[in-house]
Amino acid sequence: MALFTSNKYPKTAKYEAGIKQLNSDFERFNSYIESDELKRIKELEILINSSDFKKKVDKLKNEKFKDTAEYRQLNKYTTQKKSSELKKYFRYQASGMPEKVKKIEKSTKLKELAQLSEFVRSSEFLSEKKQKGFKKTEAFQKFKRYKELSKDAEIKLYNKQVKSAIYKNYLNIHDSERLKTFHELEHEVTSEKFIQFKNWMEDKKKFQKSEEYSLIQEHDKLLKSPDYNWYIKTEKKNSFNNINKWELSFEDEFSAKQLDKAKWITGYYWGKALLNKTYVLENENQFFTDNNISIDGNGVNINTRNEEADGLVWDMQRGFMPKKFNYTSGMISTGQSHRQAFGKIEAKVKVNHNKAVTHAFWMVGEEMAPQIDIFRFNSKNAKSFTSGIQLLNANTPEIVSKKINGANFDNDYYIYSLEWTKDKISWFINGVKVNEQSNNIPASPMYLVFSSHITDNKENINSNANIQVEWVKCYQSKN
């Protein structure tokens, strides 16, 4: 059989610190996923990468005022304003002459002159003009008034203006569609809105002053955020696969002052759960007592002592038999509180080994086999242990196990782990795989057992012999 060895197991403190850091990072990672900062980054990424946003940015960077409809309006206005007809029109209008002409046009003098002019051209007047005594007639007085009005300065001004080219230009422009269009253009290009737009389009720094630029700057700044950079690096590492794979199904950190009896029974399951009795098997030379189980703030201790005790032993032929024992020890199991098939089981344990004592962390179901040994220390020292599966082959026990070494395991706590699937079981020490089996994989739910036994060796225990369990945890696969 292959032998898995390693003298390079990570230090337990370092390994556990790494696990705690990974869990802390996982919490931080998940917290950041829900953070306002990441939501804003993603929101901005969608926005600034959209075609509409890119078109706006391109327009801000490259579009000139001369490219706009507003520029064409201004150009049209400027061209019209420079036309000689409009210039003459506005100069003539500004002179006040149109108002004078209009006033004269509405005057009684002009009407009177028009009537007299018609009179002096009439046959009646021409006939009277040839008669003697014409100067004494009313017709002469009208003729005299006609001459007087014809020399009137206002009337002469009026006549001169209405015959002039500038007045005709004025009449041609005034109230025309051309003038209306010009005024509309002038109103548009002199408006505050138009001036602001023109100034904006001619500003060489308009992009830097835009909302789009501000959004890009905000996005760039957020991308430099320490939390975001940590998140991106962590996401690339993809370090949380193992955490995401499992969900906690059972744990005990033994932080109470005494053993949690809701989680643990002390002794074999069949005795405690069904008979309310503590017993040991016929090949065992110790008896289990609750006094050998203690909690001292650093976990639960299972102690083995040179100590006499009266108890029961299970004899295959005779049943329960009383017996005097020279040794006492302890056992705790989750037989009444927690069982599971498949998943991950791990515990942080230190063994104080004695060659007379077998320390074990194992799992078993309704039958005594199969069993899974996570560790079983039964060598002369704590430099090796076995892990594997105990089976029944035609009622004959069969043990498929591996010898694990590579460290002096009673020098420190180690984290012993088991990953159990339908296809295989893998064993780990501080994260390092030390054993794997893919045959005869149990499929029934099992419970956890920590125990210390004395079987073949009957000699005094002259040194500490105990298991110290700081914590134990069970996980089920999320899938």
Residue 458 pLDDT class (50, 70, 90 cuts): low
Residue 170 to residue 176: CA distance in whole angstroms: 10
Alpha-carbon 237 to chain mean position: 17
pLDDT, residue 1, reads 37
pLDDT, residue 212, reads 97
In this predicted structure, the answer to whether residue 20 has a pLDDT above a threshold of 50 is yes
Residue 277 pLDDT class (50, 70, 90 cuts): confident
Give, in order, the Cα–Cα distances in Å from 67 to each of 74, 194, 199, 202, 425.
12, 15, 14, 11, 74
Domain count, the chain: 1
Residue 311 to residue 268: CA distance in whole angstroms: 13
Q: Which has the higher per-residue pLDDT, 64 or 128?
A: 64
Residue 98 to residue 94: CA distance in whole angstroms: 9
In this predicted structure, the answer to whether residue 3 has a pLDDT above a threshold of 50 is no
pLDDT, residue 6, reads 44
Burial class (CB in 10 A: 0-12, 13-18, 19+), 467: buried
Residue 89 to residue 94: CA distance in whole angstroms: 8
Mean pLDDT, to the nearest integer, of 365-376?
94
Q: Is residue 227 part of a domain?
A: no
From 248-252, 256-260, 375-379, 395-399, the region with the lowest mean pLDDT: 395-399
Are 303 and 329 a contacting pair, CB within 8 Å? yes
The DSSP annotation for 141-167 comes to: HHHHHHHHHHT-HHHHHHHHHHHSHHH
**Enclosing domain of residue 325:** 250-477
Do you find a cis peptide bond into 370, omega within 30 degrees of 0? yes
Q: Is residue 432 part of a domain?
A: yes
Q: Is residue 282 part of a domain?
A: yes
Residue 393 to residue 387: CA distance in whole angstroms: 19
Beta pairing, strands 414-420 & 396-405 = unpaired
Q: Is residue 224 part of a domain?
A: no
Residue 67 to residue 65: CA distance in whole angstroms: 5
pLDDT, residue 2, reads 39
Q: What does the chain come to in residues?
A: 479
From 28-37, 83-92, 317-326, 413-422, the region with the lowest mean pLDDT: 317-326
In this predicted structure, the answer to whether residue 312 has a pLDDT above a threshold of 50 is yes
In this predicted structure, the answer to whether residue 4 has a pLDDT above a threshold of 80 is no
Q: Give the type of residue at 32.
A: Y
pLDDT, residue 393, reads 81
In this predicted structure, the answer to whether residue 162 has a pLDDT above a threshold of 50 is yes
In this predicted structure, the answer to whether residue 127 has a pLDDT above a threshold of 80 is yes
Mean pLDDT, to the nearest integer, of 35-54?
97
Mean pLDDT, to the nearest integer, of 199-207?
95
Q: Is residue 161 part of a domain?
A: no
Q: Is residue 316 part of a domain?
A: yes
Residue 319 pLDDT class (50, 70, 90 cuts): confident
Helix (H) / strand (E) element for 350: namely: strand 343-352
Residue 268 to residue 125: CA distance in whole angstroms: 155
Reduce the DSSP state of residue 5 to 3 states and report it. Answer: strand
The DSSP annotation for 379-417 comes to: SSSTTEEEEEEEEEETTEEEEEEEEEESS-TTSS-EEEE
Are 475 and 460 a contacting pair, CB within 8 Å? no
pLDDT in tens, 237-266: 888 888 889 999 999 999 999 999 999 999
Q: Is residue 341 part of a domain?
A: yes
CA dihedral 132, 136, 140, 145 (to 10 degrees): 160
Residue 469 to residue 345: CA distance in whole angstroms: 13
Residue 459 pLDDT class (50, 70, 90 cuts): low
CATH number at residue 396: 2.60.120.200
Residue 5 pLDDT class (50, 70, 90 cuts): very low
Q: Give the type of residue at 252.
A: D
In this predicted structure, the answer to whether residue 80 has a pLDDT above a threshold of 60 is yes
Q: Is residue 361 part of a domain?
A: yes
